[in-house]
Amino acid sequence: MKPPRAVFVCQECGAQAPKWMGRCTECGAWNSLVEERGIEAGAPGSANRYAQLGAGGSARLYAEVDVADAVRLSTGIDEFDRVLGGGVVPGSLVLLGGEPGIGKSTLLLQAAAHFARAAGPVLYASGEESEHQIKSRGDRLGVGEAPLYLLSETCIERILEEIARLKPALVVVDSVQTVFSIKFQSAPGSIGQVREAATQFLFAAKGQNIPTVLVGHVTKDGSLAGPKVLEHVVDTVLYFEGERHHAHRVVRAVKNRYGAVSELGVFEMTGAGLRPVPNPSKLFLSERASGTPGSSVLCCVEGSRPILVEVQALVSTSTYGNARRMAIGFDQHRVSLLLAVLEKRAGLNLAGDDVYVNIAGGMSVEEPAADLSVVAAIASSVRNRSLAPSTAVFGEVGLSGEIRGIPQAALRVREAAQMGFTRIVMPAANLDRDGGSFQGGRGSPTPAGGAELVGVRTVGEALDLLIT
Ligand code: TYD
Ligand code: MG
């Protein structure tokens, strides 16, 4: 038999080339092509591999499709269910990515144990740890009695055999980069193997209606290894975020066919595993030193969840020629833009100053609604005057210094009021648009409760109000 044809596959984007090149012509990555040998198109076993998926039968009328099929199964961990969009959908394929040591295996072992107790047998296949290692971790997490099957195996075909034998209610594969198919000669973790693993588990999940969770490793730059290949195949992509030096962890949905995207689950790493944090605002504000300059409270929305976080800024005279601008948890370019607006529209002189911005507690915020809060923290640090501790701020800042309306204002107002903030500085546009729905008079059960809502139109107006 002719040996399988060699192709060179880019490990970044999955593009194929007939010969080795120093640079991928598709994505431009350097030195990313690796030789992979696949199965020949005509080889035995290759022809009908994809046929099993097409067994769905004939087309059905929209109205006749039964939505009751889409029942969700709880993982027993509220915060995890929340990111999944309310629980695991049968037959869905979920990818959980994150840096090493952030808690992926811990969370999945906890979820697997809960799931096994509530819904039936769970298969936890690990290519990274032995059964003994998993069990000793499980003992620490208090797993106890549960129909939880451990399998220390890296061969996909063997794992699939066990799935067929056990017919579990949930399958966990830790991790997709360590498993390999005997049909490929390339090393585990290469694009070919990762793609094969994802596809095989997709068939198993859809074909037998077994929800499957794959663990994915991330590369140096923080994206999933074999990113495009994997993200397209799976139904849901979750990312584990947070800093290893902080106790709290955030699981974020970046793609979800069955729920809201950018939905967020917050956990705290403790001696006995990950503990869900039902009230993250309280956690993120717990260490706030109120009354110090350079701090403001932002009400951001992640998915459908409002969270209050502290934005900190420090402005100090630059000792070197180049002023440094640094941001942690917030887009650095956005900070530069906001500084330019502050200089031009609010008359602050920051040319010779270093500016540092930090979202406290290891959270990261991407929404433009955070702009006004960042601006307020910077101005507060420059003038060395603190904001009133019971004031929360949100709003987008435009280039001409205008404050623009933002989505889901009512949600933010409600959260801030519930957390005891008595004054909320927000875009006037939001108040004009649907101000009536915030406050039907003092003391009424509307989002604002008893909080005072102050609408602002320009950065200058906002700063005059906030920093007195
Ligand atoms: P782990 O789940 O192994 O990370 P991953 O699978 O993402 O690589 O998490 C390991 C880290 O979590 C490790 O640094 C120790 C810590 N940890 C705790 O603090 N408490 C615990 O109960 C457990 C099980 C782990
Ligand atoms: Mg692990």
Q: Where do the H-state alpha helices sit in 291-440?
A: 332-346, 371-383, 409-418, 428-434
| Interatomic CA distance for residues 319 and 308, integer angstroms | 34
Residues in contact with ligand 1 by the CB-under-6-Å rule are: 98, 100-106, 137, 140-141, 269, 271-273
Instruction: For a ligand 1 pocket test, name from 136, 269, 270 the mutation site with the most ligand atoms within 8 angstroms of its C-beta.
Output: 269
Task: Tell the residue nearest (CA) to atom 14 of ligand 1.
Answer: 101
Give me the pLDDT at residue 223, please: 62
Distance 88 CA to ligand 1 centre (A): 23
Structure tokens at 158: 């063997």
Give me the pLDDT at residue 373, please: 96
Ligand 1 atom nearest 215 alpha carbon: 6
Ligand 1 atom nearest 106 alpha carbon: 2
* CATH fold label, 283-466: Ribosomal Protein S5; domain 2 (3.30.230)
Give the pLDDT confidence of 298-312 residue by residue, as tens digits: 999 988 889 999 999
0.95 exceeded by pTM: no
Distance 69 CA to ligand 1 centre (A): 35
| Interatomic CA distance for residues 26 and 14, integer angstroms | 9
Classify each residue of 179-209 as buried b or exposed e, where b means 16 or more C-beta atoms within 10 Å of its C-beta: bbbebbbbebbbbbbbbbbbbbbbbbbbebe
Task: Tell the residue nearest (CA) to atom 9 of ligand 1.
Answer: 103
Distance 143 CA to ligand 2 centre (A): 17
- Domains of the chain, by residue range, sit at 6-37, 72-278, 283-466
CATH number assigned to the domain covering 72-278 = 3.40.50.300
Distance 153 CA to ligand 1 centre (A): 21
Ligand 1 atom nearest 98 alpha carbon: 7
Is residue 161 within 8 Å of 189, Cβ to Cβ?
Answer: no
Give me the pLDDT at residue 351, please: 85
Nearest bound ligand to CA 143? 1
| Residues in the chain, total | 468
Is residue 325 within 8 Å of 336, Cβ to Cβ?
Answer: yes
Distance 200 CA to ligand 1 centre (A): 28
Phi, psi (degrees; rounded to nearest 5) at 54: -80, 15
Structure tokens at 409: 């204002």
Nearest bound ligand to CA 176? 2
Classify each residue of 98-113 as buried b or exposed e, where b means 16 or more C-beta atoms within 10 Å of its C-beta: bbeebbbbbbbbbbbb
Task: Tell the residue nearest (CA) to atom 17 of ligand 1.
Answer: 273
Instruction: For a ligand 1 pocket test, name from 99, 102, 105, 106 the mutation site with the most ligand atoms within 8 angstroms of its C-beta.
Output: 106
Distance 133 CA to ligand 1 centre (A): 12
Nearest alpha carbon to residue 251 among 407, 412, 75, 377: 75
Structure tokens at 329: 């948890």
Nearest alpha carbon to residue 176 among 215, 218, 123: 215
Residue-wise pLDDT tens for the chain (468 aa)?
566 678 888 887 778 888 899 998 888 888 888 887 765 544 554 445 555 555 556 888 888 877 655 688 899 899 999 999 889 999 999 999 988 888 999 999 999 999 999 989 999 999 999 999 999 999 999 888 889 999 999 999 999 999 999 999 999 999 898 999 998 888 888 888 888 899 999 999 998 899 999 999 886 665 666 556 788 889 999 988 877 777 888 899 989 998 887 788 999 999 889 999 988 898 888 888 878 899 999 999 988 889 999 999 999 998 877 888 999 999 999 999 999 999 999 999 888 899 999 998 878 899 999 999 999 999 999 999 999 999 999 999 999 999 999 998 988 999 999 899 999 999 999 988 766 666 544 444 566 777 899 999 999 999 999 987
Is residue 291 within 8 Å of 385, Cβ to Cβ?
Answer: no
Give the strand pairing for 423-427 and 391-393: parallel
Distance 119 CA to ligand 2 centre (A): 24
Distance 263 CA to ligand 1 centre (A): 23
Give me the pLDDT at residue 191, please: 83
Ligand 1 atom nearest 175 alpha carbon: 6
Cα–Cα distances in Å, from 119 out to 61, 132, 147?
Answer: 32, 24, 10
Structure tokens at 1: 């038999």
Ligand 1 atom nearest 137 alpha carbon: 24
Q: Which residue has the tokens 């074999």?
A: 226
Distance 100 CA to ligand 2 centre (A): 7
Q: Which residue has the tokens 């994206």?
A: 223
Give me the pLDDT at residue 48, please: 55
Cα–Cα distances in Å, from 40 out to 2, 63, 65, 72?
Answer: 9, 42, 38, 40
Nearest bound ligand to CA 99? 1
> Which residues lie near ion ligand 2 (Cβ < 5 Å)?
105
Task: Tell the residue nearest (CA) to atom 23 of ligand 1.
Answer: 273
Distance 254 CA to ligand 2 centre (A): 20
Task: Tell the residue nearest (CA) to atom 1 of ligand 1.
Answer: 103
